[in-house]
Amino acid sequence: MRHDDTTGDERESSVADRSKGTTVPEEPSSEGRTSDSDRRPPARDNRAPRRDSAGDRGSFRSSAPRSGDRSGSQDERRHTGDRGRSGDRSTSGDRRQGSGRGQAPDRTRGQGAPPRRRGGEGSAGPRAGGGRGPDSRAPRPVEPDLPDDVDAKDLEPGVRRDLLSLDKSNAEAVARHMVMVSQLIGDDPAAALLHARAARQRAGRIAVVRETAGIAAYHAGEWAEALSELRAARRMAGGPGLLSVMADCERGLGRPERAIELGRSDEARQLTGDDASELRIVVAGARMDMGQYDQAVVTLQTPDLEGDRTGSAAARLYYAYADALVAAGRADDGVQWFLRAAAADVEGETDAEDRVDELTGQ
């Protein structure tokens, strides 16, 4: 296989003579997901839809804080940006749903949170009418109830340390809301978003809180809100941030060209491993949104296609590649890669086997 470090654009001219199995890496760009008309909130890159995501387009591992996961640390919090395949099927890029891909970085201690943001400042809302003093402040929005058995100590210690700048009672409430985000994001993203907004309203100057709000909004299909929160978190924490989720949000907003720009950004070049792969999947989905199927294939041709890997990341990449091949008119090659995706998908997260049956008429 031939590998190079050029981007998909620089390699587009060589698409025609690509043979199956050839792998050429594409570089992921600035901030910013999609196709799939049925975005329930479809997460928009073409990642393989999880079987348990019924109707949901895949999922960018729900990124509510997960154990040990810190804001800005994309490695530990990979969200798969499954947006569904171009058209109606959630292809491997869907990132909303807490299915491992796009999974909320589970920041709850000892439990893998599912799996995938707006900034209030402190606990008070904006002042009403420009008055002064506590009485002139607008009342804080009603917060969702916190069950008595939800303990702030269930939040990962590193994340709790980020809340030390808050007063004790506020930090406790924020932590409990974040625990609820982690618990709900997989099954009830709308409810998770309410808790994320409550945490953000109380602690909008803390990066991990804004990131959690962004992930929750992403899973709930609130693309603009998610993008705003994730940008804020990235400004606060530095680093590349959750670029693949941001790019998928751009797709969700009908701006695939911005997702592609993010894939070419300097920040994207800082990504490695599965994080870089996730962003490529989203960028490929954006290419497919624009009808650029051959370019989508090239985008996904990387050394990661070599070998017989297993696991969620490999399954999603193989699935996305297969989907792009089929869209580019290379159905026979696509079937072979769907078979590889099915073999790699040890947890049964994708519908690769169904795609094989569909394409072979079985």
Question: Any idea what the CATH number is for the domain that residue 191 is in?
Answer: 1.25.40.10
pLDDT at residue 137, as a whole number = 60
Query: Model-level pTM?
Result: 0.68
What CA–CA distance (Å, rounded) separates 216 from 11? Answer: 36
Nearest Cα residue to 335 out of 299, 310, 360, 312: 360
pLDDT at residue 4, as a whole number = 43
pLDDT at residue 89, as a whole number = 39
The parent domain of residue 35 ranges over 8-360
Does residue 1 lie within any of the structural domains? no
pLDDT at residue 224, as a whole number = 98
b/e map of 108-127 (b: 16 or more CB within 10 Å)?
Answer: bbeeebbbbbbbbeebeeee
Phi, then psi, of 127 in degrees rounded to 5: -70, 140
pLDDT at residue 239, as a whole number = 84
Does residue 302 lie within any of the structural domains? yes
Radius of gyration of the chain (CA): 20
pLDDT at residue 138, as a whole number = 62
Averaged pLDDT for residues 281-298:
98
What CA–CA distance (Å, rounded) separates 320 from 96? Answer: 16
Flag whether pLDDT at 37 surpasses 50. no
Flag whether pLDDT at 318 surpasses 50. yes
Q: What percent of the chain has pLDDT over 90?
A: 59
229 confidence band (pLDDT: 50, 70, 90): very high
CB 119 within 8 A of CB 125: no
Does residue 3 lie within any of the structural domains? no
Flag whether pLDDT at 60 surpasses 80. no
80-84, 98-102, 251-255, 299-303: segment of lowest average pLDDT: 98-102
Averaged pLDDT for residues 77-101:
38
Phi, then psi, of 101 in degrees rounded to 5: -90, 140
pLDDT tens digits along 235-258: 999 888 899 999 999 999 999 999
Helix runs in the chain, H state only: 8-11, 157-162, 168-184, 189-202, 207-219, 223-237, 243-252, 256-263, 273-289, 293-300, 312-327, 331-344, 352-360
Of 123 and 205, the structure prediction assigns the larger pLDDT to: 205
Does residue 122 lie within any of the structural domains? yes
Flag whether pLDDT at 125 surpasses 80. no
Cα angle for residues 199, 175, 279 (degrees, 5° grid): 70
Does residue 83 lie within any of the structural domains? yes
**The tokens of 353 are what?**
């086997």
176 confidence band (pLDDT: 50, 70, 90): very high
CB 108 within 8 A of CB 156: yes
Does residue 211 lie within any of the structural domains? yes
Flag whether pLDDT at 197 surpasses 70. yes
19 confidence band (pLDDT: 50, 70, 90): very low
Flag whether pLDDT at 11 surpasses 90. no
Q: Can you tell me whether residue 31 is helix, strand or coil?
A: coil
Does residue 2 lie within any of the structural domains? no
Total domain count for the chain? Answer: 1
Mean pLDDT rounded to a whole number for the chain? 74
Averaged pLDDT for residues 220-227:
98
**The tokens of 12 are what?**
């587009």
Of 203 and 9, the structure prediction assigns the larger pLDDT to: 203
Does residue 58 lie within any of the structural domains? yes
Averaged pLDDT for residues 76-97:
39
CB 222 within 8 A of CB 252: no
